[in-house]
Amino acid sequence: ILLVPLLGVTLFVFFCEYVGRSLEYECMPSQWAAIAGAVVFILVLSLGFYSDGRVPLDESVTTLLHLMWNIPMFIFSAVVVYVMIHQFSYSERVLADQAHTDRLTGLMNRAGYEQVIRSSDIRTTTLIVFDADKFKHVNDTYGHEVGDLVLQKIARELKQNFRLCDYVCRTGGDEFVVLMMGNDELEQDQIVRKVNRINRELSHADDKIPIVSVSAGVAYGANEKNWKDLFNHADQAMYQIKQSGGRGCRFYSP
């Protein structure tokens, strides 16, 4: 008797999760929908509970048997549904995190960056593009393994010097992007101090990692119409500082 409703609940759960992911909603609405579906299945099942037809049962006895049957079955089914949804949603979240995470540095990758900007307000966002100075020389001189260590060190310094509410991404190669949320043009000095502090830390060489530096270009979303222009303008400012010798910060200005 349990196989039919549990099969129905299982199919309903996966259907709701599929719809939730397709529409890019959170898992919670589909979880509630699946639990509601479980309740419906249990109620439908309860209507089919009768005596065997040979010995009529008193109405009070039938009601008692209904309760004795439905309550344990409802609890059991609710637990099964909850465990299934929790495990399924957890697996989906793990896969999503892996798809949006750069394996080398642990930062968000380009896919993660694009996901963030889709749900962020450009008008209150400051975008900073970082690029390692003379990184090709590091790879050619010390090898790609040391180059990877340099990228990991840059990633650590970026995470340590920006707020938890900011998004630090590695968008490819030796290019990093920081999205400062809720920032404005009045805080230019703060950004300059952060970039200078990062370069001071990177200038400390050790046995495995040579001295490196980064160039940073900054653009304010309040001055831009779309994310593509915001990124391109920050990128332009970054290349201007690289052409001036690197190891510094420049703000985009039309």
Active site residue 174: yes
Which among 193, 179, 176 has a CA at the least distance from the CA of 131? 176
104 touches 148 (CB < 8 A): yes
Which residue out of 102, 131, 166, 174 is catalytically annotated? 174
Instruction: Look up residue 248 and give its two tokens.
Output: 């510094």
- Which residue reads 């009529």 in tokens? 56
User: Could you tell me which residues are beta bridge partners of residue 218?
Assistant: 128, 251
Rounded CA gap, 254 and 248, in Å?
19
Rounded CA gap, 207 and 234, in Å?
34
38 touches 28 (CB < 8 A): no
What are the CA-CA distances from residue 80 to residues 5, 49, 217 (Å)?
A: 12, 22, 52
Torsion sign across C-alpha atoms 146, 148, 153, 157: positive
Instruction: Look up residue 148 and give its two tokens.
Output: 């990877």
Residue type at position 215: S
Rounded CA gap, 145 and 148, in Å?
5
Rounded CA gap, 144 and 191, in Å?
30
User: Could you tell me which residues are beta bridge partners of residue 251?
Assistant: 218
Residues designated catalytic: 174
